[in-house]
């Protein structure tokens, strides 16, 4: 795991550092998601059905890329991340097809210290793009992030 990204190292308008590698919405990932959440709509798992749909092929469940992208925040912030306080304004602009490689970018929109000073709320915009670079999803997450205990944070 990378070194923690403590609250005092976060600045408005910064691009969050790696890790936020691209990920593959492979057939096995989509099938596992369908099984885990009992979400077996044929648009996601039945190629014959999907061919007759407006998309022409299977698409990943909308929340699957959201979950993968948000999960990366734990890797970016490490032990400095206390909790996610909200997910807001998430929008779906284009389908993510089964087999697509999705890239993720994350930017800090705001960072406000909390009362007490041991942490702060970091507002992050996440942008997920399909293999052609077009925007597939965009959303905002608010995170409670600790200050560095070595510098007086609790």
Q: How much of the chain, in percent, has pLDDT values that exceed 70? A: 95
CATH number of the domain bearing residue 85: 3.10.129.10
Asked if the model's pLDDT at residue 20 lies above 80, the reply is no
> Is residue 138 assigned to a domain?
yes
> Is residue 1 assigned to a domain?
no
Per the structure, the complete domain to which residue 73 belongs is given by: 7-149
Mean local confidence (pLDDT), 75-87: 95
> Is residue 131 assigned to a domain?
yes
pLDDT in tens, 43-67: 999 999 999 999 999 999 999 999 9
Mean local confidence (pLDDT), 105-132: 94
Confidence class of residue 19 from pLDDT cuts 50, 70 and 90?
low
Order of strands across the sheet that contains 119-129: 23-24, 101-113, 119-129, 135-146, 81-92
Helix (H) or strand (E) holding 5: none
pTM assigned to the model = 0.89
In this prediction, residue 35 carries a pLDDT of: 94
In this prediction, residue 154 carries a pLDDT of: 58
Say how far apart CA 137 and CA 62 lie, in whole Å: 9
């Amino acid at each position: 795991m990378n070194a923690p990204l403590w609250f005092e190292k976060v600045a408005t308008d910064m691009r969050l550092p790696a890790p936020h590698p691209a990920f593959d919405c492979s057939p096995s990932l989509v099938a596992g998601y369908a099984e885990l959440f009992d979400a077996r709509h044929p648009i996601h798992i039945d190629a014959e059905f999907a061919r007759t749909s407006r998309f022409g092929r299977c698409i990943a469940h909308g929340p699957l890329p959201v979950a993968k992208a948000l999960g990366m925040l734990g890797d970016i912030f490490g032990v400095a991340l206390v909790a996610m306080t909200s997910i807001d304004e998430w929008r779906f602009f284009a389908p993510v097809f089964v087999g697509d490689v999705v890239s993720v970018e994350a930017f800090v929109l705001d960072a406000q210290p909390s009362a007490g000073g041991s942490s702060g709320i970091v507002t992050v915009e996440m942008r997920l793009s399909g293999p052609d670079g077009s925007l597939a999803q965009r959303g905002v997450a608010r995170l409670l992030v600790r200050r560095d205990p070595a510098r007086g944070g609790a």
